[in-house]
Structure 1
Amino acid sequence: MSDSVDTTTLSIEADDETADEITVPAGLVDLVAEGDQSTAETVGDVVLLSFASRAHHLVHHGEGGDEELEAQEERVMELFEERFGVTFGEATGHQH
């Protein structure tokens, strides 16, 4: 049955000239898109949310972070707020 699900493939290019591709179900992208967001914007949102969530977990719920990890978490939270217009805590209802 899963073979009948349409997918979309996105290319990712990094500053260090490496690249990768990710294939995801197209309907899932449509499901989480807000308004008339493009596929790339929607996946970008999910990627940033994922990094923010993971960083938050490592710093606040993991085995504790060092100064470098805490700086990385602080920066991803700034980028999150710039992109979404709300803090990670406001967006997720999870605040410390």
Structure 2
Amino acid sequence: MTDEVQTTTFSICSEDGATDEVTIPAGLVDLVAEGDQTDAETVGDVMLLSFASRAHHIVHHGDSADDELEAQEAEVMDLFEERFGVTFGEATGHQH
């Protein structure tokens, strides 16, 4: 096992000007990258997948979801399909 794992830091900026940074092992970015994706594109893909997965879980496997939450989940699923060219169910094999 390597003693020192290289990391890389990504900056996040929202429309309202709020910012944050996230540092992750650089090798993980390389591991999940597809083709000639940039590191930023790879992190963007993982972020959208994470939000879609979490929204799906809350709406379909949680205790209760109101109309607003269901609308948020529907929107993230549309954005997912727009970015990846397949539905969340097709990409994950998890369909209802």
TM-score (norm 1): 0.97
Take 1:90 and 1:74, find their aligned partners in 2: how far apart are those partners? Answer: 15
Question: How far 1:41 moved relative to its partner?
Answer: 0.2
The 3-state SS of whatever aligns with 1:4 is coil
* Corresponding residue SS for 1:21: strand
Provide Cα deviations, 1:28-83, integer angstroms capped at 9, x if missing partner. 00000000110000000000000000000000000120000000000000000000
Structure 1 CA distance for aligned equivalents of residues 16 and 92 of structure 2:
32
Letter in structure 2 aligned against 1:58: I
In 2: Cα distance, 1:75 partner to 1:3 partner: 43
Cα offset, 1:2, TM superposition: 7.2
Identity %: 76
Identify the residue that residue 84 of structure 2 maps to in structure 1.
Answer: 84
Q: CA deviation at 1:3?
A: 5.7
Consecutive unaligned residues in structure 2, runs of 5 or more = none
Q: Secondary structure at the match of 2:12?
A: strand
**1 CA distance for matches of 2:66 and 2:23?**
34
Aligned pairs, how many? 96
- What secondary structure does 2:23 align onto? strand
Tell me the amino acid that sits aligned with residue 84 of structure 1: F
SS in 1 for 2:22: strand
Structure 2 partner of 1:43: 43
Matched residues in 2 for 1:71 and 1:53: separation?
15
Give the TM-score of the pair, scaled to structure 2.
0.97
Aligned partner letter, 2:88: F
The 3-state SS of whatever aligns with 2:17 is coil
- Divergent runs of 4+, >4 A: none
| Cα gap change, 1:21 to 1:94, in 2 (>3 Å) | same
1:42-61 equivalences in 2 (<5 Å): 42-61=42-61
Q: Counterpart of 2:80 in 1: which secondary structure?
A: helix
